[in-house]
Amino acid sequence: MKIPIIPVIALAAITFAVYHVMTSQGPTSQAEPPIEPARSPYASKLAGAGIVESRTENIEIAAEVSGVVSELLVSEGEIIDAGQLLLKLDARDVQAELNIHESGLKNVLAQYQRLERMPRAEEVPPAKADVTEAEAEVRQAKDAYERQQKLNREKIGTDEELIAARSQLEVAEAKLDKAKADYQLVIAGTWEEDLLVTESQVEQMRAEIKKTQTELARHEVRAPTSGFLSENNEKKSVWEVLQINRRPGEYVGTPSVEAIIILADAGPRRIRVDIDEHDLPRFEPNQPAIAFPRGDGKTSYPLKFVRVEPYVVPKRSLTGDNADRVDTRVLQVIYEFEKSNSKIYVGQQMDVYIELSEKPDK
What does the pLDDT read at residue 156? 77
Whole-number Å distance between alpha carbons of 97 and 232: 46
Say if CB 300 and CB 317 are below 8 A apart: no
pLDDT at residue 28 tops 80: no
Domain end position, chosen among 264, 296, 331: 264
What does the pLDDT read at residue 362? 44
The sign of the dihedral angle between the CA atoms of 295, 301, 307, 308 is positive
Amino acid at 192: E
The number of C-alpha atoms within 13 Å of 133 and in the hemisphere containing its C-beta is: 10
If asked whether residues 174 and 226 sit together in one domain, one would say no
Whole-number Å distance between alpha carbons of 57 and 263: 9
If asked whether residues 186 and 103 sit together in one domain, one would say yes
Q: Report the share of the chain in percent with pLDDT over 70.
A: 84
170 inside domain:
yes
The per-residue pLDDT for range 149-160, each reduced to its tens digit, is: 887 877 777 878
Tell me the CATH number at 227.
2.40.50.100
**Domain tally, the chain:** 2
185 inside domain:
yes
If asked whether residues 180 and 107 sit together in one domain, one would say yes
151 inside domain:
yes
Q: What is the pTM of this model?
A: 0.67
200 inside domain:
yes
Q: Report the share of the chain in percent with pLDDT over 90.
A: 44
DSSP result, 166-219: HHHHHHHHHHHHHHHHHHHHHHH-S-HHHHHHHHHHHHHHHHHHHHHHHHHHTT
If asked whether residues 188 and 252 sit together in one domain, one would say no
Residue ranges making up the domain that contains 80:
59-90+219-264
Choice among 51-65, 85-99, 306-320 with the minimum mean pLDDT: 306-320
CA distance from start to end of the chain: 75
- The residues that bridge with 273 in the sheet, in sequence order, are 50, 333
If asked whether residues 108 and 200 sit together in one domain, one would say yes
pLDDT higher for 213 or 321? 213
What does the pLDDT read at residue 12? 75
pLDDT higher for 209 or 36? 209
If asked whether residues 170 and 256 sit together in one domain, one would say no
Q: Which of 30-44, 150-164, 277-291, 314-328 has the highest mean pLDDT?
A: 277-291
127 inside domain:
yes
If asked whether residues 124 and 186 sit together in one domain, one would say yes
- The residues that bridge with 88 in the sheet, in sequence order, are 71, 220
Confidence of residue 235 (pLDDT cuts 50, 70, 90): low
322 inside domain:
no
If asked whether residues 206 and 244 sit together in one domain, one would say no
172 inside domain:
yes
pLDDT at residue 274 tops 60: yes
If asked whether residues 178 and 255 sit together in one domain, one would say no
If asked whether residues 117 and 187 sit together in one domain, one would say yes
pLDDT at residue 323 tops 60: no
Choice among 100-114, 134-148, 301-315, 322-336 with the minimum mean pLDDT: 322-336
Whole-number Å distance between alpha carbons of 354 and 333: 11
Whole-number Å distance between alpha carbons of 191 and 116: 9
7 inside domain:
no
Instruction: Centre a 10 Å sphere on the Cβ of residue 16 and count the other Cβ atoms it contains.
Output: 10
The per-residue pLDDT for range 50-88, each reduced to its tens digit, is: 999 998 889 999 999 999 999 999 999 999 998 999 999
**Average pLDDT value for the chain:** 84
> Exposed e or buried b for every residue in 230-250, given b needs 16+ CB within 10 A?
eeeeeebbebbbbbbebeeee
If asked whether residues 107 and 74 sit together in one domain, one would say no
What does the pLDDT read at residue 25? 63
Choice among 55-64, 179-188, 287-296 with the minimum mean pLDDT: 179-188
DSSP result, 222-267: E--S--EE-TTSPEE-EEEEEEE---TT-EE-SS-SS-SEEEEESS
Mean pLDDT, to the nearest integer, of 286-290? 93
pLDDT at residue 295 tops 70: yes
